[in-house]
Amino acid sequence: MQSLVIVAHGSHLNPDSATPTHTHADTIRATGAFDEVRTGFWKEEPSLREVLRTARGDDIYVVPLFISEGYFTERVIPRELRLEGWDPELWGSDGISADTATLVASDIDTEVHYCGPVGTHEAMTDVLVRRAESVTGDPSVGDGFGFAVVGHGTERNENSAKAIEYHTERIRETGRFDEVKALFMDEEPEVDDVADHFDSEDIIVVPLFIADGFHTQEDIPEDMGLTDDYRDGYDVPSEVDGHRIWYGGAVGTEELTADVILERAADAGADIGDAIARVRQRTKPTTQAAGD
């Protein structure tokens, strides 16, 4: 019996914070790849400390729905799950290459396959591109467009910027978009000056965040000049300094993120059959371009 446990941050203040986690869990449940799919949160119920007690599987795969390797994935989650003998060195990572560590959770005396975060898996690059397709309504979008991958940026965790740069470079290597750049909220180059960083008239902006919240719904739109007050809303695309800005919001809300969770579990040894192909087919965008 296989159990998948998706762990996320959650929030006491933002009721929508857990929505992507529950949505992706439902998508994966529908594939039948796991006998059960559970969710656990740092700031909501069910809590990280309790969630493994609800898992009945002989093989338990824990996938963190987080962007980077750092404080939560390397300290908080292993501590709350009571993973015996945990050490970040077990991932053997350079900050963006965490794989899997198999340890006993002392609380339930069962082995747990603890996976790296979704945000550093190579499949997240596909999710970023899918969000570009979704926000423009064009499955072949690329020519004539610039693409900005946006991160928080913080000196407290250099791995945060590493994840942004990693996916930016992977998208750039495809040659699909005219320009691909990493921008940040709290360090240079800043997203506030997005129009100054691109020659392309059309610029797709996608924050590498798991859920929409204060930063993605308020700060970034206002900082880029899409609106003076986020409560008034804004157009997609919006005109800023002679450019059209196609703002996509948090990439973790894109349905294809469920694919990355599955990829993490499969890399750890889970038998998921054709679940990945089915999720990719099910989550193909069908909407028209926001500007149509």
What CATH code would you report for 2-120+254-282?
Answer: 3.40.50.1400
Q: Does 123-253 carry CATH code 3.40.50.1400?
A: yes
Domain residue limits, the chain: 2-120+254-282, 123-253
Give the tens place of pLDDT for each residue, 197-224.
Answer: 999 999 999 999 999 999 999 999 999 9
Same fold, 2-120+254-282 and 123-253: yes
What is the value of pTM for the model shown?
Answer: 0.95
For residue 14, the tally of other CB atoms under 10 A from its CB is 16
Evaluate the CA torsion angle 65, 66, 69, 72 in order and state its sign. negative
Give the tens place of pLDDT for each residue, 123-176.
Answer: 999 999 999 999 999 999 999 999 999 998 766 567 888 999 999 999 999 999
